Amino acid sequence: MNENVNEAPDNNTEETSDNEDESEDTDTENSNEEESEEASNEENNQDSNSEEDGSNEEESENGEEENNNDEESSDNNDDGSSEDENTEEESSQEHYWGVDSASYTDEEHYSCIVDNFGEPSVFGRYIGENEGVSIGLDREEVNFLHDNDISILVIYNHVNDAVGNEQGVEHAEQAIAMAEDLSIPEDIALFVDIEPEYPIDSSFLQAWYETVNESNYYPAVYGVFDEGSELLEAYNAMESEALENMIVWTAYPQEGVTTKDNAPEYNPQGPDNSMLYGWQYGLESETCTIDTNLFTNDMMDYLWKE
């Protein structure tokens, strides 16, 4: 019996030991499970944070894209505004139809022009008598044109050799004297007529510019400013002040004489960056002995009005 009693404790001890082992195993398993859960939670948290970061990055990128789109839209609007301004400026530029003639303008001549071509806003006329070439403008003709609400473009056509400083000064002084004799008011342009067959150099044009510019009038020039012409070459050889401030009336290119309603689009050719304000696009009409022209708003500031 004692053996049995003695053996029982051993069994209990073994059972206890087994239970302890099982308990330890259970604790270990629980600990492992907890660690696994914690690791899983950490991974989930990391994944969640990563997703949030990715989402935030996407939102940030989307925000940047929206900002870029807004900036592009703003730039496009700015470009559109510039284009609109240019279009408005072009559309605001009005052109005036007019004629010039070597003939004297009276009621009969004017009626011929109106009946066959239309009413001119501008009439180019010559100062001083040039025998066999043109009849000079006089006070009676001036009054007639002004009574018909016509602005007069003043032309000086007494040059046939446009070479040298001395010639330029002499002709400019003569033009100024003729203008004063006719009581042409100050700030009106005096156009020197340079025909294609005339010899010309820059010294003449420079002297014309300087002499007229020192008077009460504005220096101006008329001629055929086609590419390669002596006139264009002489003009471009002047000093910068003259290049920028001489008023230009060109007879190039030629489109042919038309009525007022059938005038071409304004498309003159002349010196680059010049005050190119007039275009004689049609020469020597057999009817009414006139040439036909288009002029800009700017030209109207330099014409003789009532």
The string of pLDDT tens digits covering residues 92-143 is 679 999 999 999 999 999 999 999 999 999 999 999 999 989 999 999 999 9
Given this model, what pLDDT does residue 165 score? Answer: 98
Beta strands in the chain (DSSP E): 95-100, 122-126, 151-156, 189-193, 218-223, 247-250, 275-282, 291-296
* Residue at 85 is within a domain: yes
Instruction: Identify whether residues 273 and 156 lie together within a single domain.
Output: yes
Same domain, 133 and 266: yes
Output the pLDDT for position 306: 84
The residue segments making up the domain with residue 216 are 96-300
Q: Are residues 62 and 203 in the same domain?
A: no
The residue among 61, 92, 123 that closes a domain is: 92
pLDDT at 261: 97
Question: Phi then psi for 292, rounded to 5 degrees?
Answer: -115, 145
133 and 250 assigned to the same domain? yes
pLDDT averaged over consecutive 10-residue blocks of the chain (306 residues)?
36 37 39 40 42 43 46 46 45 86 97 98 97 95 98 98 98 98 97 97 98 98 96 98 97 97 97 97 94 98 95
Return the number of other C-beta atoms located less than 10 Å from residue 82's C-beta. Answer: 10
Q: Does some domain include residue 126?
A: yes
Q: Could you tell me if 64 and 105 lie in one domain?
A: no
Q: Do residues 125 and 147 both lie within one domain?
A: yes
List strand residue ranges (DSSP E) for 145-198, in order.
Answer: 151-156, 189-193
Domain tally for the chain? Answer: 2
Same domain, 188 and 242: yes
Question: Both 245 and 169 in a single domain?
Answer: yes
* Integer Cα distance of 288 and 87 in angstroms: 38
How far is 99 from 258, CA to CA, in rounded Å?
11
Q: Is residue 231 part of a domain?
A: yes
Query: Token digits for 48?
Result: 């969640």
Residue 227 corresponds to which tokens in the numbers above? 């590419």
CB 146 within 8 A of CB 125: no
Q: What is the pLDDT of residue 64?
A: 46
pTM for this structure? 0.72
Rounded Cα distance between 180 and 128, Å, is 12
In a domain, 305, yes or no: no
Residue 306 lies in a domain: no
The pair of structure tokens assigned to 11 is 């069994």
Instruction: State whether 165 and 32 are in the same domain.
Output: no
CA angle 142, 145, 148 (to 5 degrees): 145
